[in-house]
Amino acid sequence: ADIEAGKKKAAEVCASCHGVDGNSPAPNFPKIGGQPRTYLEKALKDYKTGERKDPIMAGMAAPLSEDDIENLAFYYSGQSGLYVK
């Protein structure tokens, strides 16, 4: 997987809701930075196939290629994620 490609795709597709670093500002969206890479890949694949259903994420995942998904999971799993309070 290509982390720079993941970062670029993240900025284009994901960041407006999930933040560039995956630390979502919005209360209804999960924080995805620092989540396990395997978990993020599964989530995106499941949204793409419809196995996991969400009207927003279905639209976001539909155009992603398998490479895009791997790159995004690689990128976001390496971000800092949540604050430590």
Q: Which residues bind a copy of itself (CB under 8 A)?
A: 24, 26-31, 33-39, 42, 51-53, 78, 80-85
Cβ closest to a copy of itself, residue 51 vs residue 66: 51
Q: Tell me whether residue 9 or residue 31 sits nearer to a copy of itself (CB atom).
A: 31
- Smallest gap from Cβ 51 to a copy of itself, in A, equals 7
Cα(35)–Cα(81) distance, integer angstroms: 8
Q: Which is nearer to a copy of itself, 36 or 59 (CB)?
A: 36
Contacts 24+ apart (CB under 8 A), 10-19: 10/72, 10/75, 10/76, 13/60, 13/64, 13/72, 14/60, 14/72, 14/76, 17/56, 18/76
Q: How far is the CB of 52 from a copy of itself (least distance, A)?
A: 7
